[in-house]
Amino acid sequence: MLDLRGAWNPVGGDDFQFDIGPGAGAAPAWSPAPAPRLVTVRTGAGAGGSDRITFVWPDRAIRNAWLRVTVKSNADTGLAQSDVFYFGNLIGETGLGAGDDDTALTVNALDLVSTRRHRAPGLAAPVTSPFDFNRDGRVNALDMAAARATPSRSLALLAPPALARVFSATALVREE
Protein backbone atom coordinates (compact mmCIF):
# COMPACT_ATOMS: atom_id res chain seq x y z
CA MET A 1 0.00 0.00 0.00
CA LEU A 2 1.11 3.52 -0.70
CA ASP A 3 -0.54 6.82 0.23
CA LEU A 4 -0.43 9.63 -2.32
CA ARG A 5 -1.60 13.12 -1.45
CA GLY A 6 -2.45 15.82 -3.94
CA ALA A 7 -2.85 13.78 -7.13
CA TRP A 8 -4.21 15.99 -9.89
CA ASN A 9 -6.03 13.21 -11.74
CA PRO A 10 -7.04 9.63 -10.95
CA VAL A 11 -3.90 7.47 -10.73
CA GLY A 12 -3.42 3.92 -11.96
CA GLY A 13 -0.75 1.31 -12.56
CA ASP A 14 0.85 3.29 -15.41
CA ASP A 15 1.77 6.05 -12.95
CA PHE A 16 4.24 3.74 -11.20
CA GLN A 17 7.37 1.81 -12.10
CA PHE A 18 8.21 -1.39 -10.22
CA ASP A 19 11.68 -2.96 -9.99
CA ILE A 20 13.10 -5.79 -7.87
CA GLY A 21 16.64 -6.27 -6.63
CA PRO A 22 18.91 -7.46 -3.85
CA GLY A 23 19.23 -4.08 -2.13
CA ALA A 24 22.80 -3.68 -0.94
CA GLY A 25 26.15 -3.97 -2.65
CA ALA A 26 28.41 -1.79 -4.72
CA ALA A 27 25.94 -1.48 -7.57
CA PRO A 28 22.73 -3.41 -6.93
CA ALA A 29 21.15 -4.76 -10.06
CA TRP A 30 17.51 -3.79 -10.39
CA SER A 31 15.31 -5.51 -12.92
CA PRO A 32 11.70 -4.84 -13.91
CA ALA A 33 9.22 -6.38 -11.50
CA PRO A 34 6.18 -8.18 -12.79
CA ALA A 35 3.16 -5.94 -13.18
CA PRO A 36 0.68 -6.02 -10.31
CA ARG A 37 -2.43 -8.03 -11.11
CA LEU A 38 -4.59 -5.48 -9.30
CA VAL A 39 -4.23 -1.78 -8.51
CA THR A 40 -6.93 -0.31 -6.28
CA VAL A 41 -7.23 3.40 -5.49
CA ARG A 42 -9.37 4.41 -2.51
CA THR A 43 -9.80 8.18 -2.64
CA GLY A 44 -9.35 9.82 0.76
CA ALA A 45 -8.78 6.50 2.58
CA GLY A 46 -5.07 7.10 3.31
CA ALA A 47 -3.27 9.00 6.05
CA GLY A 48 -4.53 12.56 6.40
CA GLY A 49 -7.12 12.10 3.65
CA SER A 50 -4.60 11.05 1.01
CA ASP A 51 -5.46 8.47 -1.63
CA ARG A 52 -4.59 4.90 -0.59
CA ILE A 53 -3.23 2.83 -3.47
CA THR A 54 -3.05 -0.92 -2.99
CA PHE A 55 -0.97 -3.13 -5.29
CA VAL A 56 -1.53 -6.89 -5.45
CA TRP A 57 0.81 -9.28 -7.22
CA PRO A 58 0.18 -12.93 -8.11
CA ASP A 59 1.34 -15.47 -5.56
CA ARG A 60 5.15 -15.91 -5.55
CA ALA A 61 5.71 -13.01 -7.98
CA ILE A 62 8.01 -11.12 -5.59
CA ARG A 63 9.85 -13.17 -2.98
CA ASN A 64 12.80 -12.48 -0.71
CA ALA A 65 13.78 -9.31 -2.54
CA TRP A 66 13.48 -5.54 -2.39
CA LEU A 67 10.70 -3.89 -4.35
CA ARG A 68 11.51 -0.41 -5.64
CA VAL A 69 8.40 1.63 -6.37
CA THR A 70 8.82 4.82 -8.39
CA VAL A 71 5.89 7.23 -8.40
CA LYS A 72 6.27 8.91 -11.77
CA SER A 73 6.24 12.65 -12.23
CA ASN A 74 3.32 13.32 -14.57
CA ALA A 75 0.00 15.10 -14.96
CA ASP A 76 -1.85 12.41 -12.97
CA THR A 77 0.34 12.34 -9.86
CA GLY A 78 1.03 16.07 -9.82
CA LEU A 79 4.63 15.47 -8.74
CA ALA A 80 7.34 17.87 -9.93
CA GLN A 81 9.84 14.99 -9.84
CA SER A 82 9.54 11.23 -9.43
CA ASP A 83 9.57 9.83 -5.90
CA VAL A 84 11.06 6.44 -4.96
CA PHE A 85 10.13 4.06 -2.12
CA TYR A 86 11.67 0.72 -1.15
CA PHE A 87 9.78 -2.19 0.37
CA GLY A 88 11.53 -5.26 1.75
CA ASN A 89 9.71 -8.51 1.05
CA LEU A 90 11.15 -11.37 3.06
CA ILE A 91 8.81 -14.34 3.38
CA GLY A 92 8.38 -15.29 7.03
CA GLU A 93 9.54 -11.94 8.46
CA THR A 94 6.98 -10.22 10.69
CA GLY A 95 8.90 -7.07 11.57
CA LEU A 96 9.02 -8.09 15.23
CA GLY A 97 12.21 -8.66 17.13
CA ALA A 98 14.46 -6.89 14.65
CA GLY A 99 16.00 -4.72 17.36
CA ASP A 100 16.23 -0.95 17.25
CA ASP A 101 16.70 -0.82 13.48
CA ASP A 102 13.28 -1.13 11.79
CA THR A 103 14.95 -1.70 8.43
CA ALA A 104 16.65 -4.95 9.47
CA LEU A 105 14.74 -7.72 7.73
CA THR A 106 15.62 -11.09 9.21
CA VAL A 107 13.54 -14.21 9.79
CA ASN A 108 14.13 -15.49 13.30
CA ALA A 109 12.52 -17.67 15.98
CA LEU A 110 10.37 -14.78 17.17
CA ASP A 111 8.70 -14.69 13.75
CA LEU A 112 7.65 -18.32 14.10
CA VAL A 113 6.43 -17.85 17.68
CA SER A 114 4.51 -14.68 16.75
CA THR A 115 2.89 -16.39 13.78
CA ARG A 116 1.87 -19.33 15.96
CA ARG A 117 0.32 -16.94 18.53
CA HIS A 118 -1.68 -15.12 15.86
CA ARG A 119 -2.87 -18.29 14.16
CA ALA A 120 -6.65 -18.38 13.91
CA PRO A 121 -7.76 -21.22 11.61
CA GLY A 122 -11.07 -20.45 9.98
CA LEU A 123 -11.04 -16.78 10.94
CA ALA A 124 -10.34 -14.00 8.48
CA ALA A 125 -7.09 -12.03 8.88
CA PRO A 126 -7.03 -8.31 8.12
CA VAL A 127 -5.28 -7.32 4.88
CA THR A 128 -2.58 -5.61 6.96
CA SER A 129 -1.72 -8.73 8.99
CA PRO A 130 2.06 -9.26 9.04
CA PHE A 131 1.45 -12.96 9.80
CA ASP A 132 -0.54 -13.83 6.66
CA PHE A 133 2.50 -14.48 4.47
CA ASN A 134 0.64 -16.03 1.53
CA ARG A 135 -2.13 -13.38 1.65
CA ASP A 136 -4.95 -15.93 1.57
CA GLY A 137 -6.87 -14.00 4.23
CA ARG A 138 -6.07 -16.45 7.07
CA VAL A 139 -3.18 -17.06 9.46
CA ASN A 140 -2.80 -20.82 9.54
CA ALA A 141 -0.36 -23.72 9.16
CA LEU A 142 0.69 -22.54 5.68
CA ASP A 143 1.96 -19.27 7.15
CA MET A 144 3.78 -21.12 9.93
CA ALA A 145 5.43 -23.30 7.27
CA ALA A 146 6.59 -20.18 5.40
CA ALA A 147 8.22 -18.77 8.56
CA ARG A 148 9.74 -22.15 9.40
CA ALA A 149 11.17 -22.56 5.87
CA THR A 150 13.31 -19.40 5.95
CA PRO A 151 15.18 -19.39 9.28
CA SER A 152 18.04 -16.90 9.53
CA ARG A 153 17.28 -15.58 6.06
CA SER A 154 17.79 -11.84 5.75
CA LEU A 155 17.72 -9.08 3.19
CA ALA A 156 20.74 -6.82 2.99
CA LEU A 157 19.99 -3.24 3.92
CA LEU A 158 19.88 -0.60 1.25
CA ALA A 159 22.58 2.05 0.95
CA PRO A 160 22.29 4.77 3.67
CA PRO A 161 20.72 7.52 1.48
CA ALA A 162 17.79 5.25 0.68
CA LEU A 163 17.05 4.25 4.28
CA ALA A 164 14.72 7.19 4.86
CA ARG A 165 12.30 5.67 2.34
CA VAL A 166 12.52 2.00 3.39
CA PHE A 167 9.43 0.23 4.65
CA SER A 168 9.02 -3.28 5.92
CA ALA A 169 7.01 -5.53 3.68
CA THR A 170 5.14 -6.76 6.69
CA ALA A 171 3.42 -3.44 7.12
CA LEU A 172 2.84 -2.38 3.55
CA VAL A 173 3.48 -4.92 0.84
CA ARG A 174 3.21 -8.66 0.95
CA GLU A 175 3.45 -11.27 -1.75
CA GLU A 176 0.11 -12.26 -3.19
Considering only residues 7 and 117, tell me which one the structure prediction assigns the higher pLDDT. Answer: 117
Strands (E), the chain: 2-4, 16-21, 31-32, 38-42, 51-56, 65-71, 83-89, 105-106, 154-155, 166-168
Q: What residues contact residue 117 under an 8 Å CB cut-off, 6+ apart?
A: none
Q: What is the pLDDT of residue 156?
A: 67
At 159, the pLDDT band (50, 70, 90 cuts) reads: low
Poorest-confidence range of 73-77, 107-111, 155-159? Answer: 155-159
What is each CA distance from 103 to 1, 35, 41, in whole angstroms? 17, 25, 27
Q: Which amino acid is at 164?
A: A
Considering only residues 100 and 91, tell me which one the structure prediction assigns the higher pLDDT. Answer: 91
Distance of CA 168 to the CA centre of its chain: 6
Instruction: Report the interhelical angle of 109-117 vs 141-149 (nearest 10°).
Output: 180
Residue 152 has pLDDT above 80, yes or no: no
Q: What is the pLDDT of residue 18?
A: 92
What pTM value is reported for the model? Answer: 0.68
